[in-house]
Amino acid sequence: MAAYNDSLRGYAFPIHSRDGFKCVYCGLDGTKSYSAWLCLSLEHLLPRGNRLRDTREYMVTACLFCNAADNHYFAKASERGITFKDKNRQELVAQRTPYVLKTRESYHRFWKSKVRVTR
């Protein structure tokens, strides 16, 4: 197999494989279509500066939207009472999921009121 330096075929591929090629937040399934697979990305569950941030255990598959949703998550962690110490991957995903889903729902309402074409 050729060595790939990009995310989808290279360094993120083991994490995507482990996660079943699904976004851990919304469930977008990259095995269902090429377009869905192209939307997968790698998400870090720990903030910059954490020594474990770049280990596979603390990275997950997220679709591009969920990865960017609540993009101030780490910056607002302290004021929200969010901590990262001694949490495993599943706990970190569960901790962030409500913030991601809240952002997704906000965008969904916007889309329904301003973008969707009704016939």
Q: What is the pLDDT of residues 60-114, one digit of tens each?
A: 999 999 999 988 999 999 999 999 999 999 999 999 999 999 999 999 999 999 9
Q: Is residue 119 over pLDDT 80?
A: no
At residue 91, what is the residue type?
Answer: E
6-28 pLDDT tens trace: 899 999 999 999 999 999 999 99
CB 46 within 8 A of CB 52: yes
Residue 1 is predicted with a pLDDT of: 56
Residue 117 is predicted with a pLDDT of: 83
33-70 pLDDT tens trace: 999 999 999 999 999 999 999 999 999 999 999 999 98
**Distance from CA of residue 109 to its chain's centroid?**
21
Please tell me the distance from the alpha carbon of residue 71 to that of residue 52, in angstroms, as a whole number.
Answer: 20
| Domain residue ranges of the chain, discontinuous segments joined by + | 7-114
Q: Which of 87, 5, 8 is nearest to 42 (CA)?
A: 8
Q: Is residue 31 over pLDDT 70?
A: yes
pTM of the model: 0.91
